[in-house]
Structure 1
Amino acid sequence: MKHHFRLLLSLTAILALGSLAACSGKPTTTQSPHKRVTLTFWHGMTGSSQQTLNELVRGFNHSQSKYTVVASAQGNFANVQQKIMAAAKSDTLPTIAQTTYTNVPDYVHGQFIVPLNDYLSKRTMARIDPNLRQVSYYRGQTYAMPFSKSIGLLFYNRDLLKQTHTAVPRSWEALQRDATRVKAQGLTGLALNQNFSAEWDTLTSQAGTPLMTPRPKLTSPKMLAATHVVYDMLKAKTATTAGTDGYGNVQFFKGKTLFYSGSSAAIGVLQTSTPKGFHWGTAPLPSYRGNRHVSAIQGNDLVMFKSASTAQRRGAAAFMTYLLGQKQTLK
C-alpha cells in the first residue's frame, strides 16, 4: 500500500508541474518527436521531367513522417555541376544532388561525397541492374545511385526519308553515304548535340577500344578510325553540332536534317516540342563495321554529400530506396 501511495504522490507532483508550466505561458524547450529532417535536393530537370520529379518527391514526403525532401531546380545539368563546385568551396552543399556519373571521380578526389554502401542495404543495391550499378562503382565503393539513365538513339525525319528515298541506316558507313548523297540537295545528314562524346564512346566500344576504361588506347588505329566517323562527317559538313543551342533537336526540327543522334531521355522533350506537321521516329544507333555493340549508357545519378548530417544521410538513403520502388521506377 505504501508503494502505491508514493507512486500516486509522484504522479500527482508530475501532473502539477506540467499544469504550472502550461499556466505560466512560457514555451517549453522539449522538441517535438515528429519534427521532420529536411533534405535539400539539387537537380537539373526541366519541363515535364521536372513536373514528374516533383510528383515523386511529393509521393516520398507523403509516404512517411521522418523526412521532407525539398527539391530545387538549378537549371540544366551543366548549371548543376557549376553550382556544386561553387558550393563545395563555400561549404553550402545540399544533402543530395543529381549529377552526371562522369563527375563522380572528381567528387571523390575532392572529398565532397560519401559512399552509399553504409547507407543502402544489400537488398536495395541488388535491385539495381548490374550494368547500371557498375557505372556508379569507383575504387571499390558505390558512390552514386543510378537515377535518370538513358541510351543513345537515332531520331529520323520520316518525311525527309521518304522524299530522299533513304532507309534508316543500320551501319555508320550507310549513314555516311546517305549524308554525302543528300548534301547535294541542301540537306544535312546528321545533327549532334553540342557534346558528342556519347557517340564517340559508342563507336570506340564497337571498335573494341572503349574510351571509358582505365587505360584507353588513344593512339590505336582502331580507336582513331572509330572517332573519325564523326570527325570526318563534321569536316565534310554532312553532320552538324548543336553549338550554343546545346541539343541537336533544335537543328533537327528545322526540317533540313535527316537524322539526330540523341538520348532516349529526349523523347519526352521532343514529343512536347514537335512542330505541327513534323513526323519523326526512333531507331537504334547504327552498327560500326558489323559490330552492333549495345549503346553506351548515358544519364545522371544521385550522390550524397559529406556535409550532410547523419540524420540527413539516413533520410537520403530512404529517399533513394523509395525511388527504386517498382511504381516509382515505372513513373
Structure 2
Amino acid sequence: MMGLAAVSAVAAMFIFALRPQPVQHHSSRTTITFWHSMNGPNEKVLLALIRRFNRSQTKYTVKPIYAGSYELSVMKYANTVGSNVAPDVIQSDQANQALMLDLKATVPVQKFVDRDHYDLSQLYPGVTAAYRIKGSLASMPFNSSSSVLYYNQDLFKKYAVPNLPLAPTYSDVTKAAVALTKRSHGAVKGMTLQIYGWLPEELAANQNAVIVNHGNGRRSLATAATLDSPAMQASMLWLQNVIKQGAFQNLGTGSAAANNQNAAFLAQKVGLFMQSSALLSQMQKSAKFKYGVVFTPHPDGTQANGVAIGGASLWITKNKPAAVQEGAWQLLKFLMTPQAQAAWQLGTGYFTVNQRASHEKTLAAAIRKQPALAVPIAQLKQGHLNAATAGAYFGNIQEERRNIEIAMQQIYGGADVQTALRTAETNTNAAIQKTNQVNRNQQQ
C-alpha cells in the first residue's frame, strides 16, 4: 500500500482548490461537503439527485465537489484527514478500500445502521458483502457494476452465428468468435478482452477462486497472492487459444485501449467483448445495431460461481460535528431509496443497489424495452455469496492489477501462461510482504 507520507506529498498541491467555497443556503441549514469522482453525464445525474435531496428537507445542504479520479481523490483525502477541509462524505472505489480503513478517518456505516435499525435487506446481499469488513458495513455501496459480455446480434445474424446463451461457457464464446472471424473473412474480429487487471479477477471469481489467501483477505490479513491458480490458468489459456485461432483483437492496455475497444465494437469491427456493465448506458445511446448482453463466461464443465461487483461506495468522515455526520447519513439513505436508485441506473448504467428499485415505473418500463438492463442484476442474483464474489480486500490490489496486466501482455504475445502468472504472483507477494512489514513496524 502507498505510504501516507507519499500520499501527502502527491496530494498537497491539490488542497487549496478543494477549500469549501461559499454557497447560498438558509442560515439554519448544515452544509455537508461531498467529494465524488463522477464526471461527464454521470456527474449530471449525481448533481440532479443531490438537488432533489436538498429540496426534500430543510436541515441540510449538500455541496458536491468533483475531486478527480478515485485514486487522486483518496490521495487528497489522506492529506486532509483531521483538517477543516476534509470532506464530510467521500466516494471511494473498492481498490482503495483497505487504504480508506487504514486511515482510521471514517465512521463505519454500520453504526448508523444499528442505531436506526436500517433495513439492509432491501439492498442486494451480493453488493453489501463487498463492503462488509469483519462483519461490519464500512461504507454504503453506491455506484455498482459487474463484468458482463456484450455481443453484436446483428453481426451474429448476418454470419449465421447462433446467439450466446445467458450464461455462456468458454467454448460457447470461442466458437462464436472463430465463426464470426472466418465467415466474415477477417472483416470482423471475433472478440477482444482489454488488458485490465479487474477482468481476470472477475473470471477467477466466476470459478470460485480468490486472488489472495485467507478468504480473499477478508477472514484475516492477506499474506500471499494466488494468481498462479488453476482458475487463472484456465482463463488465460482460453484467451490464448482464441488468439492462436486468429479470432482475437488485442487492443492493448490503459484508457486508450478501453476507448479503442468500445469504438471497435460500435464500428462493428469486433463481435464481442467483456467489460463493466456500467457501459450499458453508453451502448444504449451509441449502438446503431441490435446487441445482446450475457453473463461473464465460465469454463466448460464447471458451474458459474458469480462475479465480484465493481464500482464505489460512500464513506462518512469521523472527526465531524454530530449534526454533520447525521446529515451525511441522511444523504446516504436518500441515495439508497428505490426512486433515487432507479434514476441512477437509468442515467448512468450502474445497476441499482436497492432491490425494490426495479419496481419503479420508469426503470421497469426501461427494462421491458431493453431487457439487457436486467442482465447484471440477474447475474448478481444467481451468484453465490462467498469470498470470491465478495472481492479481494488487501492493500496492494493496485500492484496486483499492474502485475497481472504485465502477465496478460506476455500471454497475449504467446508466452507460457504458468510462467507469466507465477511471475505476477511472486512480484505481488513481494509487495504484500513489504506492506505488512511496514504496518507491523508502525504498530510496534
Q: Deviations over 1:139-193 (max 9, x none)?
A: 3422111111122221111222123322233211222243344445323222334
* Residue number among 56, 77, 83 corresponding to 2:73 in the alignment: 83
Using a 3 Å threshold, how does the CA distance of structure 1 residues 47 and 220 change in structure 2: closer, same or farther?
closer
Residue in structure 1 matched with residue 11 of structure 2 by the alignment: none
Residue in structure 2 matched with residue 108 of structure 1 by the alignment: 101
Residue in structure 2 matched with residue 51 of structure 1 by the alignment: 44
1:60: how far off? 0.9
Residue in structure 2 matched with residue 240 of structure 1 by the alignment: 250
1:234: how far off? 5.9
* Residue number among 307, 318, 327 corresponding to 2:339 in the alignment: 327
Using a 3 Å threshold, how does the CA distance of structure 1 residues 33 and 285 change in structure 2: closer, same or farther?
closer
Q: Deviations over 1:256-275 (max 9, x none)?
A: 1001212222111222233x
Using a 3 Å threshold, how does the CA distance of structure 1 residues 90 and 298 change in structure 2: closer, same or farther?
closer
Q: Secondary structure at the match of 1:118?
A: helix
Aligned pairs (5 A) from 1:241-256: 241=251, 243-245=254-256, 246-247=258-259, 248-256=261-269
Residue in structure 2 matched with residue 289 of structure 1 by the alignment: 300
* Residue number among 174, 177, 182 corresponding to 1:176 in the alignment: 174
1:327: how far off? 1.7
Q: Indicate conservation of the 8 Å contact 1:189/1:238, yes or no.
A: yes
Residue in structure 2 matched with residue 207 of structure 1 by the alignment: 207
Using a 3 Å threshold, how does the CA distance of structure 1 residues 104 and 195 change in structure 2: closer, same or farther?
same
Residue in structure 2 matched with residue 3 of structure 1 by the alignment: none
Q: Give, in whole Å, the separation in 1 of the partners of 2:99 and 2:65.
A: 23
Q: Give, in whole Å, the separation in 2 of the partners of 1:65 and 1:194.
A: 48
Residue in structure 1 matched with residue 155 of structure 2 by the alignment: 160
Using a 3 Å threshold, how does the CA distance of structure 1 residues 237 and 95 change in structure 2: closer, same or farther?
farther
Residue in structure 1 matched with residue 326 of structure 2 by the alignment: 314
Using a 3 Å threshold, how does the CA distance of structure 1 residues 233 and 311 change in structure 2: closer, same or farther?
farther
Aligned pairs (5 A) from 1:90-169: 90-91=80-81, 92-120=85-113, 121-169=116-164
* Residue number among 267, 274, 286 corresponding to 2:280 in the alignment: 267
Matched, 1:226 2:235: yes
- Give the TM-score taking structure 2 as reference length: 0.59
1:138: how far off? 1.4
State the identity as a percent. Answer: 24
Q: Give, in whole Å, the separation in 2 of the partners of 1:150 and 1:33.
A: 37
Q: Give, in whole Å, the separation in 2 of the partners of 1:176 and 1:243.
A: 25
Q: Indicate conservation of the 8 Å contact 2:190/2:271, yes or no.
A: yes
Q: Indicate conservation of the 8 Å contact 1:80/1:99, yes or no.
A: yes
Q: Give, in whole Å, the separation in 1 of the partners of 2:196 and 2:43.
A: 22
> Is the radius of gyration larger for structure 1 or structure 2?
1
1:194: how far off? 5.3
* Structure 1: gaps (5+ residues): 1-31
1:289: how far off? 1.8
- Further displaced range: 292-301 or 54-63: 292-301
Q: Secondary structure at the match of 2:146?
A: strand
Q: Indicate conservation of the 8 Å contact 1:153/1:283, yes or no.
A: yes
Letter in 1 for 2:272: F
* Structure 2: gaps (5+ residues): 1-24, 344-444
Q: Secondary structure at the match of 2:306?
A: coil
Using a 3 Å threshold, how does the CA distance of structure 1 residues 157 and 141 change in structure 2: closer, same or farther?
same
1:87: how far off? 3.6
RMSD: 2.8
Using a 3 Å threshold, how does the CA distance of structure 1 residues 192 and 43 change in structure 2: closer, same or farther?
farther
More helix by share: 2
Q: Indicate conservation of the 8 Å contact 2:74/2:92, yes or no.
A: no
Residue in structure 1 matched with residue 189 of structure 2 by the alignment: 188
Q: Indicate conservation of the 8 Å contact 1:190/1:257, yes or no.
A: yes
Using a 3 Å threshold, how does the CA distance of structure 1 residues 234 and 94 change in structure 2: closer, same or farther?
farther
1:318: how far off? 0.7
Using a 3 Å threshold, how does the CA distance of structure 1 residues 156 and 105 change in structure 2: closer, same or farther?
same
1:34: how far off? 5.2
1:249: how far off? 1.8
Using a 3 Å threshold, how does the CA distance of structure 1 residues 80 and 326 change in structure 2: closer, same or farther?
same
Q: Indicate conservation of the 8 Å contact 2:208/2:305, yes or no.
A: no
1:305: how far off? 2.6
Q: Indicate conservation of the 8 Å contact 1:119/1:313, yes or no.
A: no
Q: Give, in whole Å, the separation in 2 of the partners of 1:159 and 1:204.
A: 30
Q: What is the count of residue pairs matched by the alignment?
A: 294
Q: Deviations over 1:61-109 (max 9, x none)?
A: 111111111122345xxx1321321342244432212221231111111
Q: Indicate conservation of the 8 Å contact 2:32/2:327, yes or no.
A: yes
